[in-house]
Amino acid sequence: MAAPKLNLEIKDAVNDYTLKKDERLANIQAQVGADMVALGKILTILFESKEVENASKLRLTELISDSAKLLADVHHQDSDSRRNLVSLKLKKDLISTIDETGVDGWLFGENLADRVKAAQTIERSGQDLKNVSTKPTTSKRKKNARVRLNYRGPSRHLSGCRLDGQKYDRDRHPRGHYQDRLLPSRSRI
């Protein structure tokens, strides 16, 4: 049992690192498939043999069958792992279409290109049918306006502190000391 091949459309869509990783997983999957073929050959030899008793054949067949089931499950899980690995690098809107395809000789099915084209056509048709609002949307703030999270100022807890950790000395810098220079004194008026 060979590992399913990666679809040509997918090969063009993913990067080299993902391709190398998929190739390593495909090699492991091919080895698991070769193990299943070997177990099948053992079963064939066992059934053709006249030297082995029927009771022993039954017991050996059960053990080999259990081993083959486990290997088949690993082979299937490897296909799923490869599909998930490659799907991470594809467009998000096409993943549902790709997930619906089954695994055959190809990892994403034989007619992947046709399915993708059909999904894109359906999506475009849906966009054409969608009701488009002619009213402009209004919002209270501008699109690029930044939200000031600390718009009320520093909390009371930190009101006397500076950024460098030193305490602000209110006696040395009384409030309004700069106003004395700007405003005329009352005695002059």
| Per-residue pLDDT band at 41 (split at 50, 70, 90) | very high
- Provide the 3-class DSSP secondary structure of residue 153: coil
pLDDT tens-digit profile of 132-149? Answer: 666 666 656 565 566 667
Instruction: Give pLDDT, residue 99.
Output: 84
Q: Do 97 and 65 form a contact (C-beta atoms < 8 A)? A: no
User: How many beta carbons lie within 10 A of that of residue 31, not counting itself?
Assistant: 13
Q: What are phi and psi of 93, to 5 degrees?
A: -75, -15
Instruction: Give pLDDT, residue 83.
Output: 94
Higher local confidence (pLDDT), 114 or 163: 114
Q: Do 78 and 3 form a contact (C-beta atoms < 8 A)? A: yes
- Provide the 3-class DSSP secondary structure of residue 6: coil
pTM for the whole thing? 0.61
Q: How far is CA 163 from the centre of its chain?
A: 41
Instruction: Give pLDDT, residue 125.
Output: 86
Q: What is the mean pLDDT of residues 48-65?
A: 91
pLDDT tens-digit profile of 158-182? Answer: 555 555 656 655 566 556 555 555 5
Structure letter (DSSP) for residue 143? T
Q: Give the span between the Cα atoms of 98 and 121, in whole angstroms.
A: 15
Listed in sequence order, the residues at least 6 apart from 109 whose beta carbon sits closer than 8 Å to its beta carbon are 7, 101, 102, 103, 115
pLDDT tens-digit profile of 77-109? Answer: 999 999 999 999 888 888 888 888 888 899 998
Q: Give the span between the Cα atoms of 79 and 73, in whole angstroms.
A: 10
